[in-house]
Each structure stands twice: as C-alpha cells, then as structure tokens.
Amino acid sequence: MRVHLRAVGRLSGRSDERALVDDYLSRFEQTGRGLGWRFGGETEIEDKKNGGMAAEARLLRDALPAGSLLVCLDERGSVLSSPEFSKKLENWADQGRSDVSFVIGGADGIDPSLRAEADFLLSFGKMVWPHKLVRVMLAEQLYRAASIAVGTPYHRV
C-alpha cells in the first residue's frame, strides 16, 4: 500500500518542519517496508489565483492517484488513538487498497465538496492546527502506526 500526502501550502526546504516531516517519512518508509507500506510521495499545491477553498479542492483532486482512498484531515473528523490509527491502516492494506491519500487543507480548511468525497475524516483533536504542524504530526503518526503494526517498542501504551 502506498501512502500519499497532499497538502495546501509549502514547507521551506530549510525549515524545522520540513526536516521533521522528512525524518518521520523516512522512518515510516523503513519500518513499513515489511508490511508492504511505502511512502508514495508528497505534493504541495498552491492556488496562485486566490480562488479559495474550491480552487484548492480542484488542485488537490488533480493531485490524487486514481482510485486512491481519500482521507481528509479535518477538525470534524474521527479522533483516533495511535493504535486505532495503526489498525485503520492495517485494515485498508488488508482490503487491498493500493493507495491511501491524506489531504491537508489550507488556512480555511478543506472545501465541503472534497470533504464530502472523503472515505474517512481524521482529526487531531478539537483544536485547529497550522498546516505545517499537521504535516509533522501526520508524518510522525504514520511512523508510529507502522511501528505499532510491526511490534517495535517505539510506541509504548
């Protein structure tokens, strides 16, 4: 199963957030390899015409692999524990999903039309987080999920 990240906005190549995302995604790739989980890539989109959420949604849709399971990060989504998130990934892999795409919206969130198309809405709590931190948190949780699934001691309950 390939895991993709699609996000509105860019992380600077020299930022602390970029370094953390890259580190955790590299760890995810190594840990998930035995499970058949791979990182399928990250796409950063920017709406240079300032068309708002609807334009961002079009750009995000265009960046999704065909047939990908769509997971939108949204404060209205399900709040999962790390073991529950790991199990969710395992279930998608067991169902034969070849691609899972995690989508992070811009400052105003994800357009309702794209949110309605999502197979799953995921929340990191009731607080709203900046997209830079959400990316770091998602990358870390992907690594943690793979660690849980293979039984390494990274995650301690």
With respect to residue 155, please indicate whether it lies within any of the assigned structural domains. Answer: no
CA 99 to chain centre: 12
With respect to residue 81, please indicate whether it lies within any of the assigned structural domains. Answer: yes
Q: What is the pLDDT of residue 102?
A: 98
With respect to residue 157, please indicate whether it lies within any of the assigned structural domains. Answer: no
Helices (H), the chain: 16-32, 52-62, 82-94, 112-117, 131-150
Question: Which helix (H) or strand (E) is 39 found in, with range?
Answer: strand 38-45
With respect to residue 156, please indicate whether it lies within any of the assigned structural domains. Answer: no
Mark the ranges of the chain whose per-residue pLDDT is less than 50: none
CATH number, domain of 145, equals: 3.40.1280.10
With respect to residue 38, please indicate whether it lies within any of the assigned structural domains. Answer: yes
With respect to residue 123, please indicate whether it lies within any of the assigned structural domains. Answer: yes
Do 18 and 11 touch, CB atoms closer than 8 A? yes
Q: What is the pLDDT of residue 157?
A: 54
DSSP string, 58-89: HHHHHTSPTT-EEEEEEEEEEE--HHHHHHHH
With respect to residue 122, please indicate whether it lies within any of the assigned structural domains. Answer: yes
Q: What are the tens digits of pLDDT across the range 48-57?
A: 888 899 999 9
CA distance 61 to 92: 20
pTM: 0.95
Q: What are the tens digits of pLDDT across the range 109-124?
A: 999 999 999 999 999 9
With respect to residue 13, please indicate whether it lies within any of the assigned structural domains. Answer: yes
Q: What is the pLDDT of residue 156?
A: 73
Domain count, the chain: 1
Could you give the C-alpha distances from 116 to 11, 110, 112, in angstroms and in order? 27, 10, 6
Range of the domain at 119: 2-150
